[in-house]
Amino acid sequence: MAMFHVERFLKTLFTKGFFVFLVVILFTACITPRHTVEIHDYILLENGKEILGKDKGLTAFVFEGNKTKIPFQDFITSKYKLGLIYDIQYFIMVDGHRLKVFVYENAELEKYFDTSQFMITNVETAANRIGSSVDFLGISVVNDSNEDCLAPGSLYQNMTLDYLKKLKYEYNNN
């Protein structure tokens, strides 16, 4: 009699184990791998900040933050002598055109864009971090007519990209 109970217990255990194994295989087969995008220099993302009079959100110039530097917002407020660190907006002249620049706060960038799809390439140890803790930074630009200067097909796109690339270079190399 004792032998009968052991065989029955092993048979039940084997059946349950097989079903658990089958469920695990099916579950992992249904999960799609996440595709992450590496931002080498910058990326332009549409439908960012919304402005009055426009149906679509602004295009954003998004690049990876540098955690060995001061926070980007501090750099901008110091460079352009702005009083506020939050909700940064300022005007600049580029090639004789007056442009308004919007710097995204980290929470705002997360609100408009899913930055979890981007790969962090500059990983720093806690000892090397100076003050910046954000992984990605974003900037949008409009002209005096509230036209998106980074939108595909914009006449201002190349001029604006040149300015933003120089700004990013200055931030990373000062």
Phi, psi of 74 (to 5 degrees): -65, -40
Q: How far apart are CA 108 and CA 88, in angstroms?
A: 12
Mean pLDDT for the stretch of residues 62-68: 88
Look at residue 72 and give its three-state secondary structure: helix
Q: For 90-131, what is each residue's pLDDT tens digit?
A: 999 999 999 999 999 988 999 999 888 887 776 655 555 566
Q: How far apart are CA 74 and CA 71, in angstroms?
A: 5
Percentage of the residues of the chain whose pLDDT score is greater than 90: 45
Residues in the chain, overall count:
174
Q: What is the pTM of this model?
A: 0.75
